[in-house]
Amino acid sequence: MPDHKIKVVVADDEQGMRMILRRVIERTEGFELVGEAQNAAELLSLVEQEHPNVCFLDVEMPDMTGLDCAKIIQDMDPRTILIFATAHDDYMAEAFELYAFDYMVKPFKLERLNQTLARVKQVVMDREPSAKTDVFSAPRQNTPNPYPGRIMIRHKDGVNFVDENDILLIQRENRSTVLYVTGDRRFETSEALGDLETRLNPGIFFRCHKSYIINLNAVDAITPYGRWTYVVHLNGTKQDALITHDKYEELQRIFS
């Protein structure tokens, strides 16, 4: 187990469902319920304030759907584990397109909830460096960049020039685009992830998720995350990225 508790927020306009989730979470070792919300506005405020590891959310809420909430939360922190608990099973496909960790249809058995929490705990443990177990290890590639060059990163304090080969990971974070670069450097820009992608060498950089771009030369290992999602571990940084099942298969073809 990590040395800190897994922070959870719960959003549902039904008080009874919030009570069920609260009781189970509070009785489960390693978890801490840090807030409850009965609508989307309260949920988003909680996420900004508490920075939870996990969000339980309903699909249909009074002021905004849980799906729209999930999109905003992912733009704030794509590592947030999203679990939908809803009476509507017809939103499942769209939820998993948003990289939901799980989708539980009400009424669900407590055993089902406990199984989901156990999987969450395992995922958090796998994020700890000492607990990492490889599922797929990519061979290290030392071939030179066929398009050597540098890119200019614009930010509020001016600009920085960065060698493309030094960029390990680019992700959406707190509604900004953040570049993680060798030497533990970090650059933040208001430039959209898609716009930045067009300026990068497609032979090296890979859009593995709507919120992540990875340097293929930095890929170390891939481990399971949710039902159809994986985590990409990278050399040279403690940060990691999410990758969908389809992109995972595409990555395997690239390195086969």
pLDDT in tens, 24-68: 999 999 999 999 999 999 999 999 999 999 999 998 887 888 888
Least confident of 93-97, 219-223, 226-230: 93-97
Q: What is the mean pLDDT of residues 71-98?
A: 80
> Does residue 91 surpass a pLDDT of 80?
no
pLDDT value of position 148: 52
Bond prior to 107 in cis (omega within 30° of 0): yes
- Mean predicted lDDT score pLDDT of the chain: 84
> Does residue 69 surpass a pLDDT of 80?
yes
CATH 3.40.50.2300-classified regions of the chain: 6-131
CATH 2.40.50.1020-classified regions of the chain: 141-254
Q: Please tell me the distance from the alpha carbon of residue 26 to that of residue 34, in angstroms, as a whole number.
A: 10
Residue 38: count other Cβ atoms within 10 Å of its Cβ. Answer: 18
Residue 196 phi, psi dihedral angles, 5° rounding: -65, -35
Q: Please tell me the distance from the alpha carbon of residue 132 to that of residue 142, in angstroms, as a whole number.
A: 24
Q: What is the mean pLDDT of residues 147-168?
A: 84
pLDDT value of position 245: 81
- Of 12 and 97, more confident: 12
Q: Which CATH superfamily is domain 6-131 in?
A: Response regulator (3.40.50.2300)
- Exposed, middle or buried, 237 (CB in 10 Å: 0-12/13-18/19+)? buried
Domain 141-254 belongs to what architecture? Beta Barrel (2.40)
Least confident of 56-60, 82-86, 124-128: 124-128
Q: What is the mean pLDDT of residues 125-149?
A: 47
- Of 24 and 136, more confident: 24
The pTM of the whole model exceeds 0.85: no
